[in-house]
Amino acid sequence: MVNFVLAGHDFGYEVQTAIQIFFPNRHYYPAVSVPPEGMVVKSVYTENSAEACLFIDGAPVAESVLDHSADISEKDKKHIIKEAVFNVLSKFTGYTPKWGMITGVRPAKTASELSAEGLSDREILEYFTGRFRVSEDKAALALKVSRAEKEILEENRPEDMSIYIGIPFCPTRCLYCSFTSYPIDRYAKKADEYIAALSRELRFIAENIKGRRIRSLYIGGGTPTSLSENQFEALIDSVCGNFDTESVEEFTVEAGRPDTITPNKLKAMRKAGVSRISVNPQTMNQKTLDIIGRRHSVEDIKNAFYMARAEGFENINMDLILGLPEEGIEDVENTMLEIESLSPESITVHTLAVKRASRLKENIFSYDLAAADDMDKMINLAAGYAEKMGLEPYYMYRQKAMLGNFENVGYCRRGCQSIYNIEIMEEKQTVIAAGAGGATKLYDPVKNELVRVFNVKSVEDYLARLDEMLVRKVKAFSLNRW
């Protein structure tokens, strides 16, 4: 637990997010005064300075004072308060985070926005490294990704939109998972009802988007291929029956878990025009697959990949996670060597995030997790392999509670970018989501604003309240420009 005390301001969010950079996965509580025990950050704002002091068991152990001018803006006031806390914790821990004070999830989007405001590349880099104390390599990464995203975004037409279809079933629950996902063996019957309800929602969406072009269509989860072959075919039939999949520029299925991929499901996808699939190993080390709760072998991953190749898939993505429990740099090296030999068109390299609703979080002290320095080495190692494989960074996002406060990066061969991933990160296009937990984003290009419309998360609620979800969508469609 970390307490914080505010004096002269009430920007608790800024103070808490600065603390989270250095001490993730704790509880953070505001206090009115410094308690005699535990770790406490006191943040004081006066008319000419922002100060932060760290107390351990009531005694001050580190301090930072930043002077400012009297007529400071609200935005700068928040910034300097956060910076003082950042300074004091960096001094105390001896740790300089690579992303500096950045706590947002979309640094490449920030770079794109600065570029749209007319800043040069040099000025954008200086913004990151100067104002936010980001390291030069991470600032360069944000800029590089924003350039790659721009190539795709420039092709957006006003009538374009994307569709996301969520299938919340999986074979087992992974140790680090925080999604609402249901074990398919216990929910097989419910999955039938789910496909029927989802088909209704897809028909409703199709009727409401006439005249629009679907630029990307994404079936994700969960694990869509955890459905039985019959259920999966019913899903694909419904998608093809409702949307003109032939004119869709990108059609992705996140096949995900290799033990759910069969030749018949691959054939159904090929027939429907699926252009991109994911086969997600996360790691190529058997001991780690066992720890994270996968019920398949490394060999199964390779077989699923070769099966997809044999069926003619020429754009295969593989998701990886760095910092999985008990993994060190040698394990990551082994994973990257195996992935290199498979030669997928893209890889998405995640940093492990310890999410609140995960089994990992519940049993956090049972596992040996990598320190920030080791994470940095693993991330650099994976980036080096990506380069060797001819893959370039093209999209990126950050999450709360990531080990070392690092990032997730998608690398791909030229021309194999996932349009959907970029659209979802840059938020410059309407994305309509169907299924339990779906978050629709209606983008207003004139106001440059998003309106979000949420579906309920649980499968039971979705089945019981589908009509209500459709009414929500109708209202949002009619009240907003998108």
Select from 138-146, 171-179, 343-351, 405-413 the region that touches ligand SF4 (CB under 6 A): 171-179
Nearer to ligand SF4, 138 or 350 (CB): 350
Pseudo-torsion of CA 26, 291, 304, 193, nearest 10°? -70
Which H, E and C letters describe 101-114, residue by residue? CCCCCCHHHHHHHH
The residues, ordered by sequence, that sit 6+ positions from 173 with a Cβ below 8 Å of its Cβ are 181, 183, 293, 359
Task: Name residue 218's beta-bridge partners.
Answer: 164, 252
461 token code pair? 């609620």
CB contact at 8 A, 103 and 13: no
Q: Is the Cβ–Cβ distance between 165 and 220 less than 8 Å?
A: yes
How many residues touch ligand SF4 under the rule CB under 6 A: the total is 11
- Among positions 39, 174, 184, 269, the unique one binding ligand SF4 when judged by CB under 6 A: 174
Among 131, 173, 267, 302, which residue sits at the site for ligand SF4 (rule: CB under 6 A)? 173
Stretch that binds ligand SF4, among 184-192, 216-224, 232-240, 462-470 (CB under 6 A): 216-224
Work out which of 181, 199, 260, 430 binds ligand SF4, going by CB under 6 A. Answer: 181
Helix then strand then coil, % of the chain, to nearest 5? 45, 20, 35
C-alpha to C-alpha distance for 386 and 382, rounded to whole angstroms: 6
Q: Is 408 in the site for ligand SF4 (CB under 6 A)?
A: no
Nearer to ligand SF4, 272 or 321 (CB): 321
Q: Among all chains, which residue has been given the structure tokens 């019920």?
A: 295
**Least separation in angstroms between CB 201 and ligand SF4:** 20
User: In this complex, which beta carbon is closest to ligand SF4, that of residue 93 or of residue 399?
Assistant: 399
Q: Whose Cβ is closer to ligand SF4: residue 186's or residue 210's?
A: 186
Nearer to ligand SF4, 257 or 441 (CB): 257
Asked if 350 is part of the footprint of ligand SF4 (rule: CB under 6 A), the reply reads: no
Q: Which is nearer to ligand SF4, 156 or 172 (CB)?
A: 172
Please tell me whether residue 95 adopts helix, strand or coil conformation: coil
Q: Minimal distance in Å, beta carbon 173 to ligand SF4? A: 5
Closer to ligand SF4 by CB, 220 or 393: give it: 220
Among 53, 134, 163, 170, binds ligand SF4 (CB under 6 A): 170
Taking the mean position of all CA atoms in its chain, how far away is CA 146? 16
Is the CB of residue 201 less than 8 Å from the CB of residue 209? no
Find the binder of ligand SF4 among 100, 107, 224, 256 (CB under 6 A): 256
Cα separation, 138 vs 115, in Å, equals: 17
Stretch that binds ligand SF4, among 136-144, 203-211, 221-229, 302-310 (CB under 6 A): 221-229
Give SS3 for 415.
coil
CA distance 448 to 35: 45
* Binding of ligand SF4 by 257 (CB under 6 A): yes
Judged by the rule CB under 6 A, the positions of this chain that interact with ligand SF4 are 170, 173-174, 177, 179, 181, 221-223, 256-257
